[in-house]
Structure 1
Amino acid sequence: MRCFGNPLSRRGFLAAGTLGGLGLTLPELLMRQAAAEQKSYDFVEPKAKSVIHIFLPGGLAQQESFDPKPYSPLEYRGELRTIKTSTGEEFCETVPQLAKRADKFSIIRSMSHGEAAHERGTHNMFTGYKPSPALQYPSFGAVVSHEYGPRNNLPPYVCIPNVPNEFAGTGYLPSSFGAFALGSDPNRKDFQVRDLDLAGGIDQERFLRRKAALDVVNRNFVSATPADNVQAMNTFYQRAYDLLDTPAAKAAFDISQEDAKMRDRYGRNDAGQRMLMARRLVEAGSRLVTLTYGSWDMHQNITGSIRGQMPALDSAVSALLDDLSERGMLDETLVMMTSEFGRTPKINADAGRDHWPKVFSVMLAGGGIKGGMIHGASDSTAAEPEEDAVSPADLATTMYRLLGIVADKELMAPGDRPIEIVDGGKLLQPLMA
C-alpha cells in the first residue's frame, strides 16, 4: 500500500459559525484553530476527494426503502409494493427515481449494531465506535478536518443546515476541528449564511483600513512578545480576515447563484436544496458535508408517513447523483446515505415500526464505490443479517480508506492516550472499485 506525505497543512482555515451545542462563533472557532498544533500526516492514496453524508434521523425502515420483503406475511412486509430496479433488483415502490439509477450506487442490506436508542445508534453511525462513558469520539467530519484541513479556503467540514446532534462534533479532538454550520435552511427565501458578511456599517474600504492598522499592531506586539499563544492569536485574526475577504469561498454558500432550472431539478424543498448546497460546497472545496432530512422515527402509520417524506428524498438524491455524474464529480465524491438504525420486522399495533438496530440498509455511491451492487442480505423478514454483516466500524473504515486516511492510525486523546481513528473495522472490498 503506497503512502506519501500529506502536502496540506491543517493550519489553514478550518471552520466557522456556530458549533452545535457549544455556541462557538466564527472568531472563537478560528481562534481555537489558530492555536492548534501544526503537524503533517501520511495517508494512503485516496479515491474520493470529498464526502456528502446524507443522514436520515430517526431510523429509516429498510422494508419501506431498499430491502422489501414481498414474500413475507403482510404484518411483516407492510402495505407497500415493490418496484424493479434498472439492475433487476427489487426496491420498495417509494423510491422509483432511485430504482431507475440503481447502476449508479450500491446498497448495503446487512448493516448491524446493538444500539436501539437514538442517541447511541447515532453515535455509532457518526463515529464508527460504540458509545463509551469514558470518552467522546470524534465524528467523521472532525477526523477529516484534523487530517486534511481546508481546501480552497473552504471549511473542510460543513453541516446543513445545523450540526445535527452532539455526535457530529469533535469528541476528544480540539473544538477547532468542528463543523461550520450554515445556521439557516437553503430552502428558505431569506436564506443567509451567518458570519460570512461584514458587520453593519463596515464597507470594504473601512474593512481594509482596519486590517492594515491591526497588522501594524500585531507585528509590534508579536515581536515584543514571542509567545506561542500570541502567535496563535495573530494567525486567528489573519484567518478571519481571509474568510471575510475571499469572494470565491463566500460564493459557494450563495445558492441563489444556481440556475433556476437546476434548483427546480433538485426540488424546491428541504431535501432538494440541502442536496444542491452540498454539491456546491464539495465542488468548491469542502471535504465532508453532512446534511439531514426528515424524521424517520415512524412508530405510527408508517405507510402514510413514508409516502409523505420519501418522494422529496428520492427525487433529490437522484438529482444529486445525476448532477455529480454530469459534472464529472461522482467518481471523486463519495455519497453516503445512512440512518441510526432500521425498523422492527413486524408492524406494531399502531401500524408503525419500532427501533431495530440488528439489520438495516445504507446507500453508497461514487468516490471509489462500485455501482449496481447489493452487499450482504437480511433474512426473510428483515430481522437479522443473513450474510456479510456490516458494522459501523466497517463502514467507517471503508469511508476513510476511500479518502486516503488510514483508519487504524492513532490520534491523541486527553491524557496523551493514543486512540485509533477506528478500532477493528474491515474494508468492504467487494464494494470498492
Structure 2
Amino acid sequence: MRCVGNPFSRRGFLAAGSIAGFGLSLPELLMRQAAAEMKHYDFIKPKAKSVIHVFLPGGMAQQESFDPKPYSPLEYRGEMGTLKTNTGEVFSNTIPKLAKRADKFSVIRSMTHGEAAHERGTHNMFTGYKPSPALQYPSFGAVVSHEYGPRNNLPPYICIPNVPNEFAGTGYLPSSYGGFALGSDPARGDFQVRDLNLSGGVDESRFVKRKEALEVVNRRFTSMTSADNVAAMSTFYERAYDLLDTPAAKEAFDINKEGDKLRDRYGRNQAGQRLLMARRLVEAGSRLVTLTYGGWDMHQSITSGFNRTMPALDQGLSALIDDLDSRGLLDETLVMVTSEFGRTPKINADAGRDHWPKVFSVMLAGGGVKGGMVYGASDSTAAEPDHSPVSPADLATTMYHLLGIVADKELMAPGDRPIEIVDGGNVISDILV
C-alpha cells in the first residue's frame, strides 16, 4: 500500500530518537506512523473470497436477454418473447432457467460507457478504466493477484481456456501477476492442462534435481539483471513448483473428478464445462477466474444467433448458481457476467443489432450481492439509462469492495507514478447485502 509522506525522513529519525527514551523502539514508531498514514484508506471487511468473471465477447444484446422491451414497436423489441421470473420481473424468453432463479442474483440494466469499438469496450470492462494512449491499466485479475497473491498454492488469477484478450493482462504491474491460462478447453474430450504434469521419463527425484540445478543458474542470472520479465519468470517457476508439489491443487484442474450427472447438469459444451471448471478452481482457492463464452457480435440474424448461443449459457449459469449455493459457496463467491457493450435499440436491415455502449445489462450473483433485484433502468427502447447509470468504474469499485480491496488505493506505475486502482468509481451500495 502506498503511504503519503516519508516515514524515513530526517525529522522522522530525530523523532524516533526522542521517543525512544519513553520506551518506543524505532520499529514500533515506524509501525505507528505507517498505521496513521494508512488511515487515508477505509479498510473493508471482504464479503467475497473469490470472483468468477464470465465475459461474453462481442457485445450481448440487452433486449434479447435481461432487458426486453415488450411494449415497444416490433423493430425495437425484436422477435423474442418474454417471460416472468420467479420474482415477477420480465426477462427475455431466451433465459428460462435463469428466470426461475432470479431470486438468487441481481441485474444492472443501466450499465453505460462511451466506447463503441470492441477493443475499447473490452478495455473498460476488464480494467474499469477508459483506454489511454499513455498507460496500459491492469486487469481485475492482475490487481487481485497483486493485492492477495496465491491461496492453497493455486494461481490467484486463472483464465479459461486462455487469456481472452490483451486487456486481461497485467498492464503497468509486473508480469508476475498475470493470469494462468489452462491452454485447453475443459469441454474437449482430451482436455488436459498444459505443463501440469511431469514430462515423460521424469520421476519425482529427477524433477527435484533439475529444480535445484535450475535454481543455481537462476540465482546467477537474476543477480545480473533487474528486468521485469526475468523476475516474473522466476516467480512463475516458483508457483509452478508449488502447484506440482501440491496434489490437492493439481486435482482442482481435473474436471473428470466431477460426476457425470453434475457435468450433464452444467451441459457438455463450452459454456457448461468452463463454468464447472471455474467452480472447481474457486472452491480450491483461486481468487479470480475469468472465462469467455460465445460470440455475441450479432449484426445479422440476432434471433437465430441467440437461439443458437444462449441456451448453453442459460443452462450453465443456472447450474453454477445452484451448485455454488448447495455447497455453501455462493455467499462467498461473486459471479459477474459482463460484455463489451449492448446493441442498438432498433433492429437493422440485416435482422441484427449493431454496437451500442450507451446502455446494457450486467448480472451479479453471490459474494455479498442481493438476490432478486433489478438496479437501474433503460428507457422505453433500451437506448440510454432512464435512471441510476452505472459506469465500468462503478462496477469495478463494487467488485473490489466486495473483495475487501480499496478501489482508490494507489499502485505504482513506471516512473513512480501513483495510479489509483480505479479512478472515480462509486460502490453500488443498493445492490449489496
TM-score, with structure 1 as normaliser: 0.86
Tell me how far 1:278 sits from its aligned partner: 0.1
- Report sequence identity in percent: 78
Corresponding position of 1:271: 271
Unaligned runs of 5+ in 1: 4-39
Corresponding position of 1:139: 139
Q: Secondary structure at the match of 2:335?
A: strand
Q: CA RMSD in A?
A: 2.3
Corresponding position of 2:120: 120
2:197 and 2:411 map into 1 onto residues whose CA distance is: 35
Corresponding position of 1:245: 245
Tell me how far 1:260 sits from its aligned partner: 1.0
Corresponding position of 1:104: 104
Q: Secondary structure at the match of 1:241?
A: helix
Correspondence 1:14-413 to 2 at 5 A: 43-211=43-211, 238-413=238-413
CA distance 1:278–1:77, change in 2 (3 Å): same
1:366 and 1:235 map into 2 onto residues whose CA distance is: 32
CA distance 1:234–1:73, change in 2 (3 Å): closer
2:177 and 2:254 map into 1 onto residues whose CA distance is: 23
Corresponding position of 2:19: none
2:126 and 2:146 map into 1 onto residues whose CA distance is: 15
The residue type equivalent to 1:415 in the other structure is G
The residue type equivalent to 1:393 in the other structure is A
The residue type equivalent to 1:429 in the other structure is S
Q: Secondary structure at the match of 1:155?
A: coil
Q: 1:49-77 CA deviation, whole Å, 9 max, x = no partner?
A: 00000000000000000000000000000
The residue type equivalent to 2:270 in the other structure is D
1:226 and 1:176 map into 2 onto residues whose CA distance is: 18
Tell me how far 1:206 sits from its aligned partner: 2.0
2:184 and 2:376 map into 1 onto residues whose CA distance is: 38
Would you say the 8 A contact 2:155–2:239 is kept in 1? no
Would you say the 8 A contact 2:267–2:316 is kept in 1? yes
Tell me how far 1:203 sits from its aligned partner: 1.5
Would you say the 8 A contact 1:218–1:234 is kept in 2? no
Aligned residues: 391
2:431 and 2:111 map into 1 onto residues whose CA distance is: 14
Q: Secondary structure at the match of 2:303?
A: helix
Tell me how far 1:207 sits from its aligned partner: 1.8
CA distance 1:236–1:379, change in 2 (3 Å): closer
1:355 and 1:236 map into 2 onto residues whose CA distance is: 38
The residue type equivalent to 1:394 in the other structure is D
TM-score, with structure 2 as normaliser: 0.86
1:292 and 1:237 map into 2 onto residues whose CA distance is: 26
2:92 and 2:292 map into 1 onto residues whose CA distance is: 21
Q: Secondary structure at the match of 1:108?
A: strand
Tell me how far 1:174 sits from its aligned partner: 0.9
Would you say the 8 A contact 2:112–2:357 is kept in 1? yes
CA distance 1:118–1:218, change in 2 (3 Å): closer
Tell me how far 1:44 sits from its aligned partner: 1.8
Tell me how far 1:243 sits from its aligned partner: 2.3
The residue type equivalent to 1:127 in the other structure is T
Would you say the 8 A contact 1:337–1:363 is kept in 2? yes
Tell me how far 1:199 sits from its aligned partner: 2.0
2:251 and 2:102 map into 1 onto residues whose CA distance is: 33
CA distance 1:181–1:201, change in 2 (3 Å): same
Would you say the 8 A contact 1:72–1:380 is kept in 2? yes
Structure with the greater alpha carbon radius of gyration: 2
Tell me how far 1:208 sits from its aligned partner: 3.1
1:163 and 1:157 map into 2 onto residues whose CA distance is: 10
The residue type equivalent to 1:324 in the other structure is L
1:188 and 1:335 map into 2 onto residues whose CA distance is: 24
